[in-house]
């Protein structure tokens, strides 16, 4: 039996809530399994209304001075900062992650707002005097128009904040389609934008599923699409949006390997593997899901990992003693749990069985699975090949550094990776050779700061722009190159030759 708590989450269009109500989705509370409420799903009419509002708001926002835009961003920054706890609790209640972790994602999202507050500096073009006699050339960066963002469940605040602060700072208007599983944070952020003085229509939110997404991908007034989610959907978004003439960046799934060399500090490596494997119940695109133990370190490393896992406390996200919360939905928990028996059937060893982990509080009905360690995993097994996206850490043993590199090189994903070693030469060689977009050296989750850009390689990213940082500014602007000559009596008259400097 499910009990409805009764929240109703709806779209945010043109500066106000905009209920639709025809189609709706369920919002669950992962720690109890209860139905927490309903979220309206957008159809064609709601998508059209949001894009129309964004299109109408564009000319004035594009023409707002850089100082005026930066002032709104600074106010938004203060408001989000002031509501950090409230946002974290909201995220935790719908996603399941512990409140401190949710506060961390708000903080990392705020880093991007900080970056975007510097927009007057970031939008400076170039200027060259006298490219020809008394002719100057310069470049200007202009916004695109309406940009859309489509985001995953696992970071309901941070991932949208990789996108919209930069897009809006650059002078675009924005339509966000957040995950339908935890939609409330995006609406709260929209309210804070309004309180910060952002003009109506500059930031809009439509909720929903494939129907809403397809509406955005096919809408002629959407000029750019930023996506973050799983690889099959990222590929679909990239192909569909590009076919419709849009600029697109689509960040996909991951399988992040952490290589531990024989000379590594094994306590540091075990701390890192457990933190990066089980933080947010492994539902992070930068989670470590494969530990690659090189040479003789496997057994000692496994013992240290097991000691640490035994101390982790699993419970509701708002329980003060919880280190790790539940998974996001029952279906996802069941899918993740299927890799335990599946892994053993294919020859892995279940070194820690998360189904046996005690749960704090009243666990009945929640979507629980404790931290799990599968040892002796090999590349043919499904537990290795698939992105599990849950608290299952696989250990693969290799005989050499070269074998570890072959493993990573053959993997279709290339989001994040890490090496643990005390050998600077080995670390340098790794950073140079590895075919992965984000690399950690004795750092397990190498998420770039906001002023660098976030993105993987291979099947972890479709498109050529990574998120935020200067690549974000590049993605949300078009460059115009101007060549100017002011009237001068000494011009050379008619000349049919190709213009060159001189």
Sites of contact with ligand NAD (CB under 6 A): 150-155, 159, 177, 179-180, 209-210, 213, 228-230, 233, 236, 251-254, 285, 387, 389, 415, 456, 460
Nearest CA-CA partner of 291 in 325, 312, 313, 266: 266
- Minimum Å gap between C-beta 233 and ligand NAD is 4
Q: Which is nearer to ligand NAD, 397 or 468 (CB)?
A: 468
Q: How far is the CB of 62 from ligand NAD (least distance, A)?
A: 27
Full DSSP string of 237-306 = HHHHHHHTT-EEEEE----EEEEE-TTS-HHHHHHHHHHHHHGGGG-STT-EEEEEEEGGGHHHHHHHHH
d(CA 332, CA 179): 14
d(CA 206, CA 283): 24
Which of residues 275 and 329 has its CB atom nearest to ligand NAD in the complex? Answer: 329
Instruction: Rank residues 323 and 387 by Cβ distance to ligand NAD and give the closer one.
Output: 387
Angle between helices 84-95 and 66-82 in degrees, nearest 10: 70
Cβ neighbours of 85 (radius 10 Å): 12
The DSSP output letter for 497 is: S
Contact 315, 360 (CB under 8 A): yes
What is the strand order of the sheet 438-441 is part of? Answer: 349-352, 372-375, 392-398, 288-294, 256-260, 416-420, 438-441
Q: Which is nearer to ligand NAD, 150 or 336 (CB)?
A: 150
User: Do 425 and 326 contact (CB within 8 A), yes or no?
Assistant: no
Closest contact distance (angstroms) between CB of 446 and ligand NAD is: 12
Q: Which H or E run contains 489?
A: none
Closer CB to ligand NAD, 421 or 460, in the complex: 460
Residue pair 501/131 in contact by the 8 Å Cβ criterion: yes
Of the CA atoms within 13 Å of residue 280, those in its CB half-sphere come to 25
* Measured torsion, CA atoms of residues 230, 413, 186, 157, in degrees rounded to the nearest 10: 150
Q: Which residues pair with 413 in a beta bridge?
A: 458
Helix (H) or strand (E) run with residue 164 in it: helix 158-169
Helix, strand and coil percent figures for the chain, each rounded to 5: 40, 25, 35
Q: Which of 73, 237, 285, 348 is flagged as catalytic?
A: 285
| Residue placing its CB nearer to ligand NAD in the complex, 196 or 337 | 337
CA distance 155 to 160: 8
For residue 40, the minimal CB distance to ligand NAD (Å) is 14
Task: Enter the tokens of residue 209.
Answer: 């599923």
Task: Judge whether 112 and 155 are in contact, CB under 8 Å.
Answer: no
What's the min distance (Å) between Cβ of 162 and ligand NAD?
A: 8
Cβ-based nearer residue to ligand NAD, 72 or 251: 251
149 vs 366 by CB, closer to ligand NAD: 149
Smallest gap from residue 355 Cβ to ligand NAD (A): 22
Whether 170 is catalytic is: no
Least spacing, CB of residue 292 vs ligand NAD, in Å: 19
Residue in this structure with the two tokens 């000349």, named with its chain if needed: 495
Q: How far is the CB of 146 from ligand NAD (least distance, A)?
A: 18
Consecutive H or E run containing 393: strand 392-398
If the CB atoms of residues 159 and 352 are measured against ligand NAD, the closer one turns out to be: 159
Distance of CA 358 to the CA centre of its chain: 31
Q: How far is the CB of 231 from ligand NAD (least distance, A)?
A: 6
Catalytic sites, residue numbers: 285
């Amino acid at each position: 039996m499910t009990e409805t708590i009764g929240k109703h989450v709806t779209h945010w269009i043109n500066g106000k809530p905009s209920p639709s109500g025809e189609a709706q989705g369920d919002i669950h509370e992962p720690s109890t399994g209860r139905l927490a409420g309903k979220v309206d799903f957008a159809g064609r009419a709601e998508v059209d209304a949001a894009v129309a509002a964004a299109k109408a708001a564009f000319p004035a926002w594009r023409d707002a001075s850089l100082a005026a835009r930066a002032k709104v961003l600074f106010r938004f920054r203060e408001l989000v900062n002031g509501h950090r706890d409230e946002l974290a609790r909201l995220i935790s209640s719908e996603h399941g992650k512990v409140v401190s972790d949710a506060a961390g994602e708000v903080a990392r999202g705020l880093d991007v707002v900080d970056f975007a507050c510097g927009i007057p500096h970031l939008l400076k073009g170039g200027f060259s005097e006298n490219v020809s006699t008394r002719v100057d050339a310069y470049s200007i960066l202009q916004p695109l128009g309406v940009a859309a963002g489509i985001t995953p469940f696992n970071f309901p605040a941070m991932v949208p904040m990789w996108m919209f602060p930069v897009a809006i700072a650059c002078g675009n208007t924005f339509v966000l389609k957040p995950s339908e599983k935890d939609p409330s944070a995006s609406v709260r952020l929209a309210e804070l934008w309004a309180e910060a003085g952002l003009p109506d229509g500059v930031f809009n939110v439509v909720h929903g599923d494939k129907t809403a997404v397809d509406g955005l991908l096919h809408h002629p007034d959407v000029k750019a699409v930023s996506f973050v989610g799983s690889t099959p959907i990222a590929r679909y978004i990239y192909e569909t949006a590009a076919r419709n003439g849009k600029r697109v960046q689509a960040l996909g799934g991951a399988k992040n390997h952490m290589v531990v060399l024989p000379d590594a500090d094994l306590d540091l490596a075990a701390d890192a593997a457990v933190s990066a494997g089980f933080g947010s119940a492994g539902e992070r695109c930068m989670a470590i899901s494969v530990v690659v133990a090189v040479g003789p370190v496997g057994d000692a490393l496994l013992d240290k990992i097991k000691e640490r896992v035994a101390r982790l406390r699993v419970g509701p996200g708002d329980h003060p003693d919880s280190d790790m919360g539940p998974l996001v939905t029952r279906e996802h928990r069941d899918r993740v749990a299927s890799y335990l028996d599946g892994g053993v059937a294919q020859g892995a060893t279940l070194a820690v069985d998360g189904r046996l982990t005690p749960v704090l509080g009243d666990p009945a009905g929640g979507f629980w699975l404790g931290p799990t360690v599968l040892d002796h995993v090999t590349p043919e097994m499904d537990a290795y090949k698939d992105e599990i996206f849950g608290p299952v850490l696989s250990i693969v043993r290799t005989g050499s550094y070269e074998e570890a590199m072959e493993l990573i090189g053959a993997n279709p994903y290339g989001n994040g990776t890490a090496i643990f070693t005390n050998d600077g030469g080995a670390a340098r060689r790794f950073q140079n050779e590895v075919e992965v977009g984000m690399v950690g050296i004795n750092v397990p989750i190498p998420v770039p700061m906001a002023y660098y850009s976030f993105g993987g390689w291979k099947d972890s990213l479709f498109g050529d722009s990574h998120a935020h940082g200067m690549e974000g500014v590049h993605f949300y602007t078009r460059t115009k190159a101007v060549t100017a000559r002011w009237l001068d009596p000494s011009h050379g008259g008619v000349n049919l030759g190709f213009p060159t400097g001189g």
